[in-house]
Chain A
Amino acid sequence: MKSKVLGLLGLGAALALTACGGGSKDASQQSTGAAADSALKGTTLNLYTWDGMFPQEVLDGFTEKTGVKVNYSNFDLDETMLAKLEETKGGDYDIVVADDYIIQLAIKEGLVKELDKSKISTYDNINPLFQSKFYDPENKYTMPYGAGIPLIVYNPETVKVDIQGYNDLWNPELAGNVGIIGNYRVIDGITLKSLGYSFNTNDLTQIQEAGDKLKTLAPNIRLINDNNLQDYLLSGEVGAAFMYTSQVTQAIKANPDLKVVYPKEGLGFGVMGSFIPSNAPNAEAAYKFLEYINEPEVAAKCFEYIGYFVTNKAAESYVSDDWKDLIVFPEDKISLIESGELIENISDEANELHNKLWEEFRQKTN
């Protein structure tokens, strides 16, 4: 009997041993950063964002260049990050990458440091198309790190409807054949847009009208999934899907015959931004990091890795050919960005109504 418990501990020990192999690598890395900035060398940068936002190559490159070790920790949702920053009073973390709307709240709560742009020599590489947005109108606090533009993708082999915009998703021929992401502000938003209203309206009657229209979409919905919608499109579970940018790129990469639709009613999109929390323990290293990831070649690597639209003008020419069509925003569609809307924070009443209508819609799809 005793060996049962011992066996368990043994398992732990064995796994620990295999894991230790990784630990020693970091030590050797640190010593290679010989030519680094002397003051920062040996310090640690606490990077806080989703997992998979930076290729290992880039993080290693930064360590090599500056001698700063990167400590990469993760959150699942933007709101978790905000809660953590509130609790630590903007301390503990040096760089945060998150979505636009939550950054606006973090700025309001005084948790974001104003950027000293003189410390970021590569600042001008940013594409102004993705700047001066609602969350940071004067670009005082953030630098964009990738833009997400949910688009419709469909398989022309199985879907005979010529999809041009949001309204086509309501086509009865798509019954039980549509997959959508699970973000209600986006989905309610495209319904508003399909009625000619704004994504960000605070008008409760307009929201209600959209909610009623959304319910009529229920028979067409096969699934609501935030995580890997592209898989279902590729496997044929659904014929058409409205999904996030990283999913669009993955789907097209796997099956170039799929058709991407930039909905004619107008785009709703989001920008991810990077910022330094107000009490960041190692702000100097944070500036160095921002400078580094804004170098054109580095940025190109990052955007290829995350599969979001490139927000760095200088990086565009460094994006490799297989990725160019996917993540460099097409020249001829730029008017759609200019006329498009970012999804902004709206009044509590409007948000609550949105949520309720969404839950009702979800129940209807079952």
Chain B
Amino acid sequence: MKNKKLNKYLLRIPIYIFTILFVILPLAYMVIISFLTKAKTWGFDFTFTLENYKKVFDPFYLNIFLESVKLALASTVLVTLIGYPFGYFMGRLSERWKRRMMMLLMIPFWTSGLIRLNGWIIIFRSNGVLDKLLMFSGITKTPLKLLYTYPAVLVGMVYFLLPFMILSVYSSVEKMDWSLIEASRDLGASRLESFLTITLRLTMPGLLSGVVLTFVPSMGLFYISDILGGNKIVLIGSVIVEQLTKLRNIPFAAALSVILMLLTIVFLRLYKKVSGTGELEGLF
């Protein structure tokens, strides 16, 4: 028994060391920078200031934060609606097809994201694949302008984030005890009832971690909207990049990142509260 306890401590060592050295330390450094002043040409001077945070609360930037949250939420909802049933059905396939499905899901990922986005451009652009299809089938008469619209951006976001949700849901469906559902059905529960009371409950950890794995990165994803949205939707990620590069204002970019981080944490906490489960333990 003692041995087991010791093991439990040993197993913690890697994550503790790694997190302290390569996550907490860099992030602390970022927080420190966010209170410093921009240097003339490059970098920062060690003079304390709150100016960067004051600037964040300019309605101009708040608005951009709002826009980013909206897109992240919309993407997460869509990804859940498609990804959950996908992961669920995938978990019901035969062993062989499960394996195949998993590889099928991952293969596109070996191709550069930029190249795949270009694929979507070919589909969406006027007189592109989709336009031709719609006109051929007689649904539309003239080429549409589908590219550089909000829906095009959403498609791109869903496309990129879907596998995170699917794999997460799948790995918890996969271990589900299907006999429980049969039992509940035998006891007279309707399909919906047994889904709500058993399936959903049992797959909740997968669903919740899927939502986290979708929502969290989507807050920082901006190049999809830059490419498929024609740079017309201003997201916080691209503002941070511009501040860092074109304006060389590292402290302000750090302050924006700190706020983005806090905002994400607030959302996660809210989510944890609303979902009312202990499954998200270990997340702020």
Contacts and interface: CB of A to CB of B under 8 A. Distances in A.
Given A222-B148, A235-B127, 12 more contacts: A79-B245, A108-B41, A184-B242, A184-B246, A223-B232, A232-B125, A348-B38, A355-B242, A355-B243, A359-B242, A363-B232, A366-B150
Contacts of A7: 103
B42 interface: yes
B256 to A, nearest CB: 13
B70 interface: no
B26 interface: no
A225 interface: yes
B232 A105 contact: no
B176 interface: no
B209 interface: no
Q: Which of B43, B145, B148 has the most CB of A within 10 A?
A: B148
A224 B242 CA distance: 15
Interface of A: 4, 7, 77-80, 82-83, 86, 105, 108-109, 176, 182, 184-185, 221-225, 227, 232, 235-237, 348, 351-352, 355-356, 359-360, 362-363, 365-366
B64 interface: yes
Contact of B147 (A182, A223, A348): A223
Interface of B: 38, 41-43, 60, 64, 99, 102-103, 125-128, 145, 147-148, 150, 226-227, 229-234, 239, 242-249
Given A4-B99, A351-B246, A359-B60, A235 B125 contact: yes
A238 to B, nearest CB: 10
A164 B35 CA distance: 49
B161 to A, nearest CB: 22
Q: Dominant SS at the A interface?
A: helix
A366 B242 contact: no
Contacts of B60: 356, 359-360
B142 to A, nearest CB: 12
A364 B42 CA distance: 31
Contacts of A105: 41-42, 248
Contact of A223 (B38, B42, B148, B243): B148
B231 A362 contact: yes
* Closest 5 pairs between A and B when the two form their complex, measured CB to CB: A223-B230, A224-B231, A79-B245, A366-B232, A365-B232
Contacts of A362: 231-232, 234
A235 B42 contact: no
Contact of A109 (B41, B126, B145): B41
Looking at B43, B231, B244, the one whose CB has the most chain A CB atoms below 10 A away is B231
A365 B41 CA distance: 32
A292 B43 CA distance: 35
A187 to B, nearest CB: 11
Nearest to B244: A79
B127 A236 contact: yes
A360 to B, nearest CB: 8
A225 B234 contact: no
A227 B115 CA distance: 12
Contacts of B128: 235
A225 B42 CA distance: 27
A227 B233 CA distance: 17
A98 to B, nearest CB: 13
B99 A359 contact: no
B43 A225 contact: no
B42 A237 contact: no
B114 to A, nearest CB: 9
A230 to B, nearest CB: 13
8 contacts: A80-B245, A109-B42, A225-B227, A225-B230, A232-B125, A237-B147, A360-B60, A366-B233
Contacts of A77: 245
Nearest to A356: B60
Contacts of A109: 41-42
Contacts of B239: 359
Nearest to B246: A355
A105 B231 CA distance: 28
A23 B281 CA distance: 48
Contacts of B103: 7
Contact of B246 (A83, A185, A221): A185
A359 B234 contact: yes
B230 A224 contact: yes
A352 B42 CA distance: 15
Contacts of B145: 176, 222
A235 B60 CA distance: 35
Contact of B231 (A86, A176, A223, A355): A223
